Amino acid sequence: MDHPGIPEPALRRRLAAALGTAAPVCALLLALLAALAVTDPGFYEPDRLLAFVRRAAPLVILAAGQYLVIVSGEFDLSVGAVVTVGVVTAAELYQEFPGAHWTVVCAVLLLAGAAVGLVNGLVTTLLAVPSFITTLGTTLVLQGGVFSWTGGSPQGYLPDDFRAMGRDDLFGWLPWGVLVCLAAGAAVVVLMRCRFGRTLLATGDNERAAALAGVRVGRARTVAFVLSGMAAALAAVLVAGFSGVSAQAGSGMEFEAITAVVLGGVVLGGGRGSVAGAMAGAFCLVALFTLLNLRGVSGALEPTVQGVIVIAAVALGAADLSRRRRSPSTGGQSS
């Protein structure tokens, strides 16, 4: 059922525009995969290709969660810290409760991620603290808490059944991480096609108009933060699977997720973009770093590459938005 006050034609135009923004990043992804095939002829062997997807899966999941927040007009800089906390917490839990079932530990991590997202959402919407500041503060709190808890050196271990999701295969060839990535992506795609997705797009496009149309803006954004926190916790399970215990497990992943989202054509400020584009942006980022590594480019340049991508993508998005506003045929932004 459509949300009252939001015209159906306008919603269809928004959704069509969002899907259209994924085309350029998909073309870029194909070009990068072709370059990888030329650089490394064995890249398209099934096991190598699936290993690439498994390696990209945590970032793809983070990008899907970050998309929900950004398309609503906010930011979530805490997801990298949530990944770190998730890995460290799992190890500490297994140290205290060696016989804990992996499903219980995963459930605890998802609840913890949701709790962090809830705090972010409530502080942002009820206290009117800019999300950039809110989630930056949350990051510092979580990083300080991890250091205080572990002394900079996490204890405990991660048993094989918990790490299986991140490093093992189903049927001996299909990585569990690929299945988790597909399931998470499909869930967000379905969510964006439902009423809640339309309210997020409307909120990010024009907060005041959405509120006047009856959208509970604060609740929609809070739910987006909760889902982003849960996505980060799920990514932590995959990261723990193939990386093990580390106090730096999620370091920098928040910026990688934002880079992937803007590379996927999602407009910072909200209202435009597709989750398919955001996820394709994550694959592009991993493919680009893989290609640079194969070409012998130092990994130290990765932050530089991310910075250039963010600036270029935001500049192009701003130019496109300005052109739309000036165009008499579009009549400005979609209402």
Q: What is the pLDDT of residue 9?
A: 60
Task: Return the C-alpha torsion angle 225, 231, 236, 237, nearest 10.
Answer: 140
Q: Which two tokens stand for residue 209?
A: 């108009």
pTM for the complete prediction? 0.87
Query: Rounded distance, CA 241 to CA 123, Å?
Result: 32
Of 93, 96, 84, the residue nearest 141 (C-alpha): 84
User: Is the separation of the CB atoms in 302 and 216 below 8 Å?
Assistant: no
User: pLDDT 10s digit of each residue in the chain, 335 long?
Assistant: 455 445 556 555 555 555 556 778 888 899 999 999 999 888 888 888 888 999 999 999 999 999 999 999 999 999 999 999 999 999 989 988 888 999 999 999 999 999 999 999 999 999 999 999 999 999 999 999 888 887 777 777 888 888 888 887 787 778 888 899 999 999 999 999 889 988 999 998 888 888 888 889 999 999 999 999 999 999 999 999 888 788 888 888 999 999 999 888 888 877 788 899 999 999 999 999 999 888 887 777 778 888 888 788 777 766 666 665 566 544 333 33
User: Is the separation of the CB atoms in 284 and 32 below 8 Å?
Assistant: yes
Helical segments of 152-270, H only: 160-167, 176-193, 195-205, 207-212, 217-243, 253-263
